[in-house]
Structure 1
Amino acid sequence: MLGRLRYLFTLSRPRFWLYLAGPIVVGVAFGVESQSGLFTPVTIGLFAYFLLPANVFLYGINDVFDADVDTGNPKKETKEAKWRGDPIVAAVVAVATLLGAFTFVATPRLAWPYLAGFFLLGFQYSAPPLRFKTTPFLDSLSNGLYVLPGAAAYATVAGSHPPAAALAGAWLWAMGMHTFSAIPDIEPDREAGIRTTATFLGERRTLGYCLACWLAAAAVFGLVDPRMGAVLVAYPVLVFAIRFAGVDVRRAYWWYPALNTAVGTLLTLGALWRLLYG
């Protein structure tokens, strides 16, 4: 039993839990009109679901359909888990998926398209027939799924859709983040016959693609608020630093959970400052 729990913990990618739950915090902070709206059963419930069960769903589906190709991926030997075909673990992944139905029950219809988009893209990213992760550029584009929980949270508490520029900027950020994370997998993916944006472009041009995505994200966020755009400049700056300092991307990749948490925290603090002090 303890072994299964450890395996599920690893499968859920704890380093990346805030990639889904963090946008909930940001979306709520920017969407509420008063402090009383920050901590409600709905906002706490959304955070709880996207902190753990949603990650079990997303990465469990990924590991199920990548079982054959993960055999040669070194990440699966250390920081991530290989799919074992355990029926109890499969049942837990199924339950985590089904629990997502309660997010629709708890939220207004305005939020449903964002939630539906998350579950659809989250499943079809890894699963056939679409399996976006094996098509260059569609793999990157589909990873806007990470920002959809935040959009749903904003719509839930604000009663309106998030600003289009904020959604577009966040989507561009997610595209860059996904493609950067695929760089360490270039060789294993090529050996397994998987085509991704990173395998198609190669490491140097993939860094250029990430740089373009993150510069565009900073510019588009700047249309919402110049201060937000300035915060997002951290991503292209780090790309330049990695490139010109000769840092191995496989090492730098593991810095990004901390960077993403710091950026999300700054954005949230800015939203809370507006809420508290106008």
Structure 2
Amino acid sequence: MFWDYIFLIRPTLLVPVWTFFLIGYARGGGEGRFFLSIFAYSLLMGGVYILNQIVDRETDRINKKLFLLSEGIIPLKHAWCEMILLFVASLTLSFLFPVPYRIFFFISFIFGILYSAPPARFKGRPLLDLFSNAFGYGVLNFGIGYLTSGEFTWKIFLYSLPYFFAVGGVFINTTIPDIPGDREAGEITTGVWLGEKKCLFLSTIFIFISLVLSIILKDILCLIAASVSLPLFLYALLRPSRKSVLISIRIGAPILTLAVCFLYPLFFPVLLLLYLSMRIYYKKRFNYDYPTLTR
């Protein structure tokens, strides 16, 4: 089925990609080849997400998620071909941009490979999995957006700090629901290594740091997101349960995306269209309600 190959790139994970791209783009001045840049970076990250599923087929089967490869709906050979095509196309397009942009782009590519592929496999190494996500989205993704519309400056790393900690906080909580499956598969993630209680404490600290940095740097977008998210993370810390953890992720994380919609109003109908298309696809294809807030 054609749509299987579209959804293999995991469109829900492209939402944070677009979010941090837009934040960086706005911070850089809001000019430049916007559509070409965001298209190229979306292709790159789509390839990264396919690689992640290829390597994690067994873990995904245990955790009963991401059916397309774990259940053999899409042949493995086809997934490899789609991934390679996306990588080649995205890296080729990156050469239409200046050198600093290409450097950030290539580092994103390398991190995407190291995150999933053995022997490095940062995804299965405590703290490295956390750093890869926080740096990958909060710094590199942000930087790609910034460099689309602005010239390189070391201040990129300063401006990205609140997002580094915001992404890190959310990521820590995402490892918690997968602890049983990851432990069974022999994966030592940050969640497995720290355990649920320490993860919830650390994630709350990260969100708090993000809030403080947002105030210092006068970053209104991250300030809004961190202010709304912190009570959700505190609640998950004080009343730990699968539901409270998932709510901290699935409500806390999208707050930043919704804040970006005020900056770029056309982003909201794009998100709405994506949400509706995914609801329809998963319901008709698998009789499965996804995305949801609690599962």
Whichever structure has more helix as a proportion of its residues is 1
SS class of match (2:208) = helix
1:173-214 residue CA offsets vs partner (Å, 9 max, x unmatched): 222222221111111101111101111111121111111111
User: Which one is further off, 148-157 or 191-200?
Assistant: 148-157
User: Which one is further off, 220-229 or 134-143?
Assistant: 220-229
Pick aligned residue for 1:206 from 195, 199, 210? 199
Counterpart for residue 259 of structure 1: 255
User: Which one is further off, 197-206 or 163-172?
Assistant: 163-172
Counterpart code for 1:11: L
CA RMSD of aligned residues (A): 2.4
The answer (yes or no) to whether the contact 1:114–1:152 under 8 Å persists in 2 is yes
- Measured in 1, the distance between the counterparts of 2:49 and 2:130 equals 16
Counterpart code for 2:258: A
Counterpart code for 1:193: G
Counterpart for residue 82 of structure 1: 70
Pick aligned residue for 1:21 from 18, 22, 26? 18
State the TM-score, normalizing by the size of structure 2. 0.78
Counterpart code for 2:188: R
The answer on 1:137 being equivalent to 2:133 is no
Question: Shift of residue 94 of structure 1?
Answer: 0.8
- Measured in 2, the distance between the counterparts of 1:137 and 1:86 equals 30
- Measured in 2, the distance between the counterparts of 1:256 and 1:49 equals 28
Q: 1:28 to 1:138 in 2, by over 3 A?
A: same
The answer (yes or no) to whether the contact 1:140–1:197 under 8 Å persists in 2 is yes
1:111-139 residue CA offsets vs partner (Å, 9 max, x unmatched): 23321221111110001221101111111
Counterpart code for 1:235: S
The answer on 1:172 being equivalent to 2:169 is no
Counterpart for residue 41 of structure 2: 50
**What 5-or-longer segments of structure 1 have no aligned partner?**
270-278
Query: 4+ runs of 1 displaced by more than 6 Å?
Result: none
Counterpart code for 2:137: Y
**What 5-or-longer segments of structure 2 have no aligned partner?**
266-295
Counterpart for residue 235 of structure 2: 241
Counterpart for residue 30 of structure 1: 27
Q: 1:44 to 1:209 in 2, by over 3 A?
A: same
Counterpart code for 1:197: T
Question: Shift of residue 240 of structure 1?
Answer: 1.6
- Measured in 1, the distance between the counterparts of 2:255 and 2:4 equals 26
- Measured in 1, the distance between the counterparts of 2:259 and 2:182 equals 30
The answer (yes or no) to whether the contact 1:13–1:55 under 8 Å persists in 2 is no
- Measured in 2, the distance between the counterparts of 1:100 and 1:145 equals 17
The answer on 1:146 being equivalent to 2:137 is yes
- Measured in 2, the distance between the counterparts of 1:104 and 1:237 equals 40
1:14-57 residue CA offsets vs partner (Å, 9 max, x unmatched): 22221112222122222126xxx2xx5x2111222334x23421
Question: Shift of residue 268 of structure 1?
Answer: 5.8
Pick aligned residue for 2:118 from 128, 139, 144? 128
The answer (yes or no) to whether the contact 1:23–1:150 under 8 Å persists in 2 is yes
Counterpart for residue 273 of structure 1: none
User: Which one is further off, 24-33 or 183-192?
Assistant: 24-33
The answer (yes or no) to whether the contact 1:64–1:83 under 8 Å persists in 2 is no
Q: 1:28 to 1:100 in 2, by over 3 A?
A: same
SS class of match (1:198) = helix
The answer (yes or no) to whether the contact 1:179–1:198 under 8 Å persists in 2 is yes
1:34-91 residue CA offsets vs partner (Å, 9 max, x unmatched): xxx2xx5x2111222334x2342121110111123322112335xx752734322321
Counterpart for residue 225 of structure 1: 218
- Measured in 1, the distance between the counterparts of 2:236 and 2:161 equals 26
The answer (yes or no) to whether the contact 2:21–2:142 under 8 Å persists in 1 is yes
Q: 1:87 to 1:262 in 2, by over 3 A?
A: same
Q: 1:202 to 1:268 in 2, by over 3 A?
A: farther
Give the % identical residues: 20
1:225-256 residue CA offsets vs partner (Å, 9 max, x unmatched): 16355322222222123344665246424335
The answer (yes or no) to whether the contact 1:70–1:76 under 8 Å persists in 2 is yes
| Aligned length in residues | 257
